[in-house]
Amino acid sequence: MENGYWTKFEVYRVAPSQQMPHGISYCLTLHDKNNRRVIGFDNAHGIKSKRKKYGVRKVTWDHEHRKEQVFSYEFETAGQLLEDFWEAVEIYLAGEGHV
């Protein structure tokens, strides 16, 4: 990609489980020219969702990384995952002045 950015996709079919009910293990990432991940969508580890005042903390596996921040991601389909990833990449690059 322009300005040294590059993407990496790792996707595997796995047996459906509580953590991965859709049967897909995935990691889609955008890296800068210094090989730092700046955008990532994956389900490689669980994250605790933000707890409301008296709510229960739910551990979710599907999530999105934006630089150092991590956000819960609602996996719908593989096609939607790709659309969401590329949209996040476009927004990031536009914000960085690279589009």
Domain ranges, residue 14: 2-95
In this prediction, the residues of the chain whose per-residue pLDDT falls under 70 are 45-60, 97-99
Q: What is the pLDDT of residue 20?
A: 85
Our count of domains for the chain comes to 1
Tell me if 37 sits within 8 A of 31, measured CB to CB. yes
Distance from C-alpha of 13 to C-alpha of 18, rounded to nearest angstrom: 15
Q: What is the pLDDT of residue 27?
A: 95
Residue 43 identity = N
Structure tokens at 20: 């991965």
Q: What is the pLDDT of residue 72?
A: 85
Angle, vertex CA 62, rays to CA 60 and CA 63, nearest 5? 100
Q: What is the pLDDT of residue 83?
A: 97
Distance from C-alpha of 86 to C-alpha of 78, rounded to nearest angstrom: 13
